[in-house]
A = this chain, B = another copy of it.
Amino acid sequence: MIDDLPAGLTARHLADHDHPRVLAVLDAWWGGLKGEAGSTERALLLPRLYFQHFTTTSLLVEHDDGAVAAFLVGFLSQTEPDTAYVHFVGVDPALHGQGVGRVLYRAFFALARSHGRRHVHCITSPENVASQAFHTRLGFTASGVQPDYDGPGLDRVAFTIDL
């Protein structure tokens, strides 16, 4: 479904049974950030419901041997019929710099457009400067830091792009 990935990688839609496999790579990919509490935080941000009910706009990239290489969890806004939202994206650090994240976002943009969406929103944490630079390179516009955006102490930077 995506033909511009590096050799040895293929993409498909996420499925329910991918949930434990994706959670299992997060600690390694995030460098164990914030230890066990960080691990629980990441699991709570990615409950199984995304792998059950938003698979049509969510993608998994695998190596030829089936190992998880990257994923994107996104959905179509129910409230705003012209908007789609990217909730969580991960790329194996060993693959950074090869354009895998860019390919995933562009595939999501194409899916969003096919459902009539004209804007895509996402957020990241103020500490994640690599993510902010990535989104800016992709063409997103940043909001600046919004204190307590997702709750007390959960500051976020919001990004928007027009398709």
Contacts and interface: CB of A to CB of B under 8 A. Distances in A.
Interface of A: 19-20, 23, 37, 39-41, 43-49, 52-57, 75-80, 83, 85, 87, 148-154
B47 A75 contact: no
Number of copies: 2
Contacts of A76: 78
A48 B80 CA distance: 15
Contacts of A79: 52-56
Chain A contact residues: helix, strand, loop or mixed: mixed
Given A151-B23, A152-B23, A56 B41 contact: no
Contact of A53 (B47, B55, B56, B78): B78
B43 A150 contact: yes
Nearest to A87: B49
Contacts of A54: 78-79
Contacts of A52: 77, 79-80, 85
A75 B53 contact: yes
